[in-house]
Amino acid sequence: MTNCGPSWKWRIFRHNTDRVVRKLAEGVLDIGFISLPTEHPDLRVIPVQRDRWVAAVPPGHPLASRRSVSLEQLVEYPFILPEMGHTRAALDKMLLPYRRLLKVAFEASGVELIKRLIAAGMGVAIIAERCATEEAEAGRLKLIALRGVSMVREIGVAMRKEDALPSTARALIAVARQFAAQPVRKSRRSSSKQ
Protein backbone atom coordinates (compact mmCIF):
# COMPACT_ATOMS: atom_id res chain seq x y z
CA MET A 1 0.00 0.00 0.00
CA THR A 2 1.10 3.51 -0.73
CA ASN A 3 -0.02 6.61 1.13
CA CYS A 4 -1.47 9.33 -1.10
CA GLY A 5 -2.15 11.92 1.53
CA PRO A 6 -3.33 11.78 5.11
CA SER A 7 -6.43 9.62 4.59
CA TRP A 8 -5.85 7.76 1.30
CA LYS A 9 -4.32 4.35 0.80
CA TRP A 10 -4.14 2.69 -2.60
CA ARG A 11 -4.24 -1.05 -3.02
CA ILE A 12 -3.41 -2.32 -6.49
CA PHE A 13 -5.42 -5.26 -7.85
CA ARG A 14 -4.35 -6.51 -11.28
CA HIS A 15 -6.57 -8.80 -13.30
CA ASN A 16 -8.43 -9.07 -16.59
CA THR A 17 -11.17 -6.61 -17.53
CA ASP A 18 -14.07 -8.97 -16.83
CA ARG A 19 -12.93 -9.57 -13.25
CA VAL A 20 -12.18 -5.88 -12.61
CA VAL A 21 -15.67 -4.94 -13.87
CA ARG A 22 -17.25 -7.57 -11.61
CA LYS A 23 -15.28 -6.34 -8.56
CA LEU A 24 -16.23 -2.72 -9.32
CA ALA A 25 -19.91 -3.62 -9.61
CA GLU A 26 -19.74 -5.59 -6.34
CA GLY A 27 -18.21 -2.58 -4.57
CA VAL A 28 -14.94 -4.39 -3.81
CA LEU A 29 -12.95 -1.91 -5.93
CA ASP A 30 -13.47 1.85 -6.16
CA ILE A 31 -11.77 2.49 -9.49
CA GLY A 32 -10.24 0.31 -12.19
CA PHE A 33 -8.42 0.47 -15.51
CA ILE A 34 -10.17 -1.71 -18.08
CA SER A 35 -10.04 -2.55 -21.78
CA LEU A 36 -12.73 -0.89 -23.89
CA PRO A 37 -15.33 -1.15 -25.15
CA THR A 38 -16.90 -2.42 -21.95
CA GLU A 39 -20.41 -1.61 -20.88
CA HIS A 40 -22.02 -2.26 -17.53
CA PRO A 41 -25.23 -0.57 -16.38
CA ASP A 42 -23.78 0.33 -12.97
CA LEU A 43 -20.43 1.71 -14.17
CA ARG A 44 -19.21 5.00 -15.57
CA VAL A 45 -16.22 4.68 -17.94
CA ILE A 46 -13.79 7.43 -18.97
CA PRO A 47 -11.48 6.60 -21.93
CA VAL A 48 -7.86 7.54 -21.22
CA GLN A 49 -5.59 5.80 -23.74
CA ARG A 50 -5.51 4.30 -27.23
CA ASP A 51 -2.72 1.95 -28.23
CA ARG A 52 -1.93 0.11 -31.43
CA TRP A 53 -1.56 -3.65 -31.63
CA VAL A 54 1.88 -4.84 -32.72
CA ALA A 55 3.56 -8.17 -33.34
CA ALA A 56 6.07 -9.13 -30.64
CA VAL A 57 8.85 -11.58 -31.50
CA PRO A 58 12.17 -12.58 -29.90
CA PRO A 59 15.17 -10.57 -31.17
CA GLY A 60 16.68 -13.43 -33.23
CA HIS A 61 13.39 -14.41 -34.86
CA PRO A 62 13.19 -14.59 -38.69
CA LEU A 63 10.63 -11.72 -38.67
CA ALA A 64 12.61 -9.52 -36.24
CA SER A 65 14.34 -7.46 -38.94
CA ARG A 66 11.07 -6.42 -40.63
CA ARG A 67 9.35 -3.07 -40.15
CA SER A 68 5.93 -4.61 -40.67
CA VAL A 69 4.33 -8.04 -40.99
CA SER A 70 0.94 -9.30 -42.06
CA LEU A 71 -1.18 -11.56 -39.88
CA GLU A 72 -0.69 -14.25 -42.51
CA GLN A 73 3.10 -14.07 -42.02
CA LEU A 74 2.81 -14.01 -38.24
CA VAL A 75 0.56 -17.07 -37.90
CA GLU A 76 3.22 -19.22 -39.60
CA TYR A 77 4.97 -19.33 -36.19
CA PRO A 78 3.93 -20.78 -32.80
CA PHE A 79 1.55 -18.29 -31.20
CA ILE A 80 1.11 -17.14 -27.60
CA LEU A 81 -2.34 -15.89 -26.59
CA PRO A 82 -3.87 -14.64 -23.35
CA GLU A 83 -5.92 -17.44 -21.81
CA MET A 84 -9.12 -15.42 -21.42
CA GLY A 85 -10.67 -12.01 -21.14
CA HIS A 86 -11.34 -8.94 -23.23
CA THR A 87 -7.96 -8.98 -25.00
CA ARG A 88 -8.35 -12.65 -25.90
CA ALA A 89 -11.78 -11.96 -27.39
CA ALA A 90 -10.35 -9.10 -29.49
CA LEU A 91 -7.45 -11.26 -30.69
CA ASP A 92 -9.78 -14.18 -31.48
CA LYS A 93 -11.82 -11.82 -33.65
CA MET A 94 -8.67 -10.45 -35.34
CA LEU A 95 -7.28 -13.94 -36.00
CA LEU A 96 -10.55 -15.59 -37.03
CA PRO A 97 -9.67 -15.69 -40.77
CA TYR A 98 -6.43 -17.53 -39.87
CA ARG A 99 -7.80 -19.99 -37.29
CA ARG A 100 -6.93 -23.04 -39.42
CA LEU A 101 -3.33 -21.85 -39.77
CA LEU A 102 -2.88 -20.72 -36.16
CA LYS A 103 -0.62 -22.92 -34.03
CA VAL A 104 -1.24 -21.92 -30.40
CA ALA A 105 1.85 -22.83 -28.38
CA PHE A 106 0.74 -21.26 -25.08
CA GLU A 107 -2.24 -19.62 -23.46
CA ALA A 108 -0.81 -17.39 -20.73
CA SER A 109 -2.39 -15.61 -17.79
CA GLY A 110 -1.17 -12.09 -18.44
CA VAL A 111 0.96 -9.83 -20.60
CA GLU A 112 4.03 -10.11 -18.34
CA LEU A 113 4.12 -13.89 -18.78
CA ILE A 114 3.45 -13.53 -22.51
CA LYS A 115 6.43 -11.17 -22.85
CA ARG A 116 8.69 -13.59 -20.95
CA LEU A 117 7.62 -16.50 -23.15
CA ILE A 118 8.31 -14.47 -26.30
CA ALA A 119 11.73 -13.38 -25.00
CA ALA A 120 12.55 -17.05 -24.27
CA GLY A 121 11.81 -17.90 -27.92
CA MET A 122 8.65 -19.88 -27.17
CA GLY A 123 6.50 -18.11 -29.78
CA VAL A 124 5.16 -14.84 -31.15
CA ALA A 125 2.23 -12.74 -30.03
CA ILE A 126 0.15 -9.66 -30.71
CA ILE A 127 0.26 -7.18 -27.83
CA ALA A 128 -0.43 -3.53 -27.17
CA GLU A 129 2.66 -1.50 -28.06
CA ARG A 130 2.89 0.43 -24.78
CA CYS A 131 2.91 -2.84 -22.83
CA ALA A 132 6.30 -3.80 -24.24
CA THR A 133 8.30 -0.66 -25.07
CA GLU A 134 10.61 -1.24 -22.10
CA GLU A 135 11.42 -4.79 -23.24
CA ALA A 136 11.94 -3.60 -26.82
CA GLU A 137 14.33 -0.86 -25.68
CA ALA A 138 16.26 -3.40 -23.60
CA GLY A 139 16.54 -5.72 -26.62
CA ARG A 140 14.48 -8.53 -25.08
CA LEU A 141 11.66 -8.23 -27.65
CA LYS A 142 11.24 -6.85 -31.14
CA LEU A 143 7.98 -5.01 -31.82
CA ILE A 144 6.79 -4.94 -35.43
CA ALA A 145 3.92 -3.00 -36.99
CA LEU A 146 1.00 -5.10 -38.20
CA ARG A 147 0.11 -4.54 -41.85
CA GLY A 148 -3.60 -4.44 -42.61
CA VAL A 149 -4.73 -4.28 -38.97
CA SER A 150 -6.75 -1.22 -38.02
CA MET A 151 -7.88 -2.36 -34.56
CA VAL A 152 -6.53 -0.49 -31.55
CA ARG A 153 -6.58 -1.25 -27.85
CA GLU A 154 -8.36 1.35 -25.76
CA ILE A 155 -8.07 1.67 -21.99
CA GLY A 156 -10.51 3.44 -19.74
CA VAL A 157 -11.01 4.19 -16.07
CA ALA A 158 -14.20 2.73 -14.62
CA MET A 159 -16.07 3.41 -11.38
CA ARG A 160 -19.59 2.92 -10.05
CA LYS A 161 -22.05 5.50 -11.37
CA GLU A 162 -23.43 6.34 -7.94
CA ASP A 163 -19.97 7.14 -6.51
CA ALA A 164 -18.66 10.68 -6.60
CA LEU A 165 -15.31 10.98 -8.31
CA PRO A 166 -12.80 11.75 -5.52
CA SER A 167 -9.97 14.18 -6.17
CA THR A 168 -7.41 11.39 -5.96
CA ALA A 169 -9.24 9.50 -8.71
CA ARG A 170 -9.28 12.65 -10.85
CA ALA A 171 -5.54 12.99 -10.26
CA LEU A 172 -5.01 9.35 -11.27
CA ILE A 173 -6.99 9.89 -14.48
CA ALA A 174 -4.94 13.02 -15.24
CA VAL A 175 -1.70 11.07 -14.81
CA ALA A 176 -3.01 8.28 -17.06
CA ARG A 177 -3.96 10.80 -19.74
CA GLN A 178 -0.53 12.47 -19.52
CA PHE A 179 1.12 9.08 -19.95
CA ALA A 180 -1.15 8.30 -22.90
CA ALA A 181 -0.33 11.63 -24.54
CA GLN A 182 3.39 10.83 -24.59
CA PRO A 183 4.61 9.36 -27.87
CA VAL A 184 5.57 5.70 -27.76
CA ARG A 185 9.34 5.48 -27.65
CA LYS A 186 10.70 3.56 -30.60
CA SER A 187 13.36 0.94 -30.04
CA ARG A 188 16.78 1.76 -31.45
CA ARG A 189 16.94 -1.80 -32.72
CA SER A 190 14.88 -1.29 -35.86
CA SER A 191 15.63 -2.32 -39.40
CA SER A 192 14.53 -1.22 -42.84
CA LYS A 193 13.33 -4.57 -44.20
CA GLN A 194 9.71 -4.92 -45.25
* Residue 140 sits in the same domain as residue 75: yes
Residue 98 lies in a domain: yes
Residue 91 lies in a domain: yes
Whole-angstrom distance, CA of residue 87 vs CA of residue 165: 27
* Residue 136 sits in the same domain as residue 59: yes
* Residue 91 sits in the same domain as residue 142: yes
Total domains present in the chain: 2
Tell me which residue range forms the domain holding 79: 51-147
Which run of H or of E encompasses 94? Answer: helix 86-95
Inform me whether the pLDDT recorded for 192 exceeds 70: no
Residue 120 lies in a domain: yes
If we measure between CA atoms, which residue out of 112, 106, 109, 114 comes closest to residue 78?
106
42 CB neighbour count, 10 Å cutoff: 14
Which CATH number is 61's domain given? 3.40.190.10
Average pLDDT across the chain, whole number: 85
Question: Please, which pLDDT band fits residue 161 given cuts at 50, 70 and 90?
Answer: confident
Taking only the tens place, the pLDDT of each residue in 66-87 is 999 999 999 999 999 998 888 8
189 CB neighbour count, 10 Å cutoff: 15
Tally the residues of the chain.
Answer: 194
Q: What's the mean pLDDT in 124-134?
A: 92
* This prediction's pTM: 0.76
* Residue 157 sits in the same domain as residue 100: no
Residue 41 lies in a domain: yes
* Residue 8 sits in the same domain as residue 76: no
* Residue 66 sits in the same domain as residue 130: yes
Whole-angstrom distance, CA of residue 53 vs CA of residue 151: 7
Residue 188 lies in a domain: no
* Residue 119 sits in the same domain as residue 72: yes
Taking only the tens place, the pLDDT of each residue in 12-25 is 767 788 889 999 99
Computed from CA positions of residues 82, 54, 97, 103, in that sequence, does the dihedral angle turn out positive or negative?
negative
Taking only the tens place, the pLDDT of each residue in 92-118 is 999 999 999 999 999 998 889 999 999
